[in-house]
């Protein structure tokens, strides 16, 4: 369990660093061309490493715990902005950072180690079908979709990838995991999440995009994990877990809209929804 938690935390750091790199890249390059810039390519490599670490975590930890830790990557973004860019950190941001950390401690205690179990009949078919439909919807949204719609697509894409990864871990060996049909959902979900997120950052505010994705990638897979995939909360920990999740999500939203987050993302904090003036 300690190894799995360490992997989840390392993945959150990786995602936070990657987010900064991608957002900075979109300042000068737009559209699909942004995906080929050196900074975005490097960011995608960091994303890939973080994703592999998240797979290690998903092998032994429930979805609601892993996804809550990954959503905490916004803490990394804000702290990096403060330490390395001299960005302004509000008092409410400091409180939100503390709240996220304490909430994750409670969530970790409520979840504990839970190896993946086989999904119910028909779940893989539904998940793969949903990933294909989501990919098609993202293609349609890419050119003319709003930032909010693209943010939702990104959050759902990452959710599908997490659900697929948790389901795939029920296999007995690595080859069996890779060759499962659910691997299609993992790949499509990850691609949709990365592409839609990058496009949403280009179209709208960093804070709104990060907040939307953070909430969706915790609530959707976490809820399905408990309802369908057999993830459980320890006896007596249900209420603390729900309250801690609510606190963590609220704090992540606060941090996502922080001026420090906007500065770290390379955007003017005067942009709509981004708060007070702070720029790189």
pLDDT of residue 153: 96
Instruction: Write the pLDDT tens digit of every residue in 22-46.
Output: 766 766 666 666 677 888 888 889 9
Instruction: Write the pLDDT tens digit of every residue in 196-205.
Output: 988 888 888 7
Percentage of the chain with pLDDT > 90?
A: 40
pLDDT of residue 271: 41
Instruction: Read off the pLDDT band of 268 (50, 70, 90).
Output: low
Lowest mean pLDDT across 119-123, 148-152, 179-183, 244-248: 179-183
pLDDT of residue 266: 57
Lowest mean pLDDT across 64-73, 197-206, 212-221, 271-280: 271-280
Instruction: Read off the pLDDT band of 72 (50, 70, 90).
Output: confident
Instruction: Read off the pLDDT band of 275 (50, 70, 90).
Output: very low
SS3 track for the chain = CHHHHHHHHHHHHHHHHHHHHHHHHCCCCCHHHHHHCHHHHHHHHHHHHHHHHHHHHHCCCCHHHHHHHHHCHHHHHHHHHHHHHCCCCCHHHHHHHHHHHHHHHHHHHHHCCCCCCCCCCCHHHHHHHHHHHHHHHHHHHHHHCCHHHHHHHHHHHHHHHHHHHHHHCCCCCHHHHHCCCHHHHHHHHHHHHHHHHHHHHHHCCHHHHHHHHHHHHHHHHHHHHHHCCCCCCCCCCHHHHHHHHHHHHHHHHHHHCCHHHHHHCCCCCCCCCCCCCCCC
Instruction: Read off the pLDDT band of 210 (50, 70, 90).
Output: confident
Indicate the pTM of the whole model: 0.81
Average pLDDT, the chain: 83
């Amino acid at each position: 369990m300690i190894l799995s938690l360490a992997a989840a935390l390392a993945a959150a750091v990786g995602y936070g660093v990657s987010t900064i790199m991608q957002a900075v890249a979109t300042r000068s390059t737009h559209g699909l061309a942004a995906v080929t810039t050196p900074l975005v390519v490097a960011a995608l490599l960091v994303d890939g490493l973080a994703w592999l670490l998240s797979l290690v975590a998903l092998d032994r930890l429930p979805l609601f715990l892993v996804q809550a830790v990954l959503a905490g990557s916004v803490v990394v973004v804000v702290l990096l902005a403060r330490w390395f860019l001299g960005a302004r950190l509000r008092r409410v941001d400091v409180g939100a950072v503390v709240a996220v950390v304490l909430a994750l401690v409670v969530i970790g205690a409520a979840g504990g180690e839970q190896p993946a179990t086989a999904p119910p009949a028909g779940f893989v078919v539904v998940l793969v079908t949903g990933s294909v439909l989501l990919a098609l919807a993202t293609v349609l949204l890419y050119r003319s979709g709003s930032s909010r719609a693209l943010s939702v697509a990104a959050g759902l894409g990452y959710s599908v990838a997490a659900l697929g990864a948790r389901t795939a871990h029920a296999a007995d060996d690595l080859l069996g995991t890779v060759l499962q049909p659910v691997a299609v959902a993992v790949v499509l979900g990850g691609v949709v999440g990365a592409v839609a997120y990058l496009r949403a950052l280009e179209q709208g505010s960093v804070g709104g995009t990060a907040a939307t994705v953070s909430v969706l990638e915790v609530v959707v897979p976490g809820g399905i994990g408990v309802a369908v995939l057999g993830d459980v909360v320890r006896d007596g920990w249900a209420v603390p877990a729900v309250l801690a999740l609510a606190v963590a999500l609220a704090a992540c939203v606060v941090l996502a809209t922080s001026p420090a987050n906007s500065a770290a993302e390379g955007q003017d904090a005067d942009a709509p929804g981004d708060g007070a003036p702070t720029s790189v």
